[in-house]
Structure 1
Amino acid sequence: MAKPLVVSIPHGLGKDEARRRLETGFTGLKQQFGQHLTAVQDTWTGDRMDFRLAAMGQQVTGHLVVKPDCVDLEVNLPFLLAMMADKAKALIQKQGNLMLERK
């Protein structure tokens, strides 16, 4: 297995608001990318969300932790998807920023 993909997304929302936006945003991602992502599962335990999904027929697992000033995300990509880790990291960073931006 490849090294986990790690992304830290800064925010100024506080933990509760950041978590609320992530919960809403993750539901939106399922709808937006539903044709590319299947078997999407997420489980919250406190400020940590564990997730599992399938992309391009490959199983992806990971977790995120909501902190007062950032969200730390770790994604375990299978070999096929790990070859596209740079593109995946950019997409994760973009979507995370969209979820957490001030409105």
Structure 2
Amino acid sequence: MAKTLEVRVPHALNQDEIKRRLDEALVRARSDYADSVGEITAQWDGEEKMRFNLAVAGMKFDGSLEICIEELLVTLQLPGAAALFSGRIREGIQERLGGLVG
């Protein structure tokens, strides 16, 4: 059964700068993780929300990232097996996004 994971990452940047950094990071991730992750798809849904999906070890992950005034809100649907690693997944998201917008 899927589990919803929410991760909040504080920031002090304007929306345009966050979008620029996220778009650049997405290009790098597609290149750096192509062999282990496979295709990463992402699309902006309006000005403040990105929807994305990817597959890791045969498991599909669907999620979104919303740009809020003082934080980024990541919502990720974890497949059943991945739910066991939700703590590590949360930490990884906080570390990577925190480094990107911090």
Q: TM-score, normalised by structure 1?
A: 0.89
SS at match of 1:4: strand
Distance 1:27 1:99 in 2: 14
How far is the alpha carbon of 1:30 from its aligned partner? 2.1
CA contact (8 A) 2:3 2:80 kept: no
Structure 1 vs Structure 2 CA RMSD: 1.2
Distance 2:31 2:96 in 1: 13
Q: 1:86 matched to which residue of 2?
A: 87
Deviations along 1:7-66, one digit per CA (max 9) or x if unpaired, are: 011100021211211111122222232222112110112211101110111010000101
* Alignment: residue pair count: 101
Deviations along 1:69-89, one digit per CA (max 9) or x if unpaired, are: 211000001011111111111
- Structure 1 gaps of 5+ residues are none
CA contact (8 A) 1:48 1:64 kept: yes
1:12 aligns with 2:3: no
Report the identity percentage: 27
Q: 1:35 matched to which residue of 2?
A: 35
* More displaced 10-residue stretch of structure 1: 24-33 or 6-15: 24-33
The structure with the greater share of residues assigned to helix is: 2
Q: One-letter code of the match for 2:12?
A: G
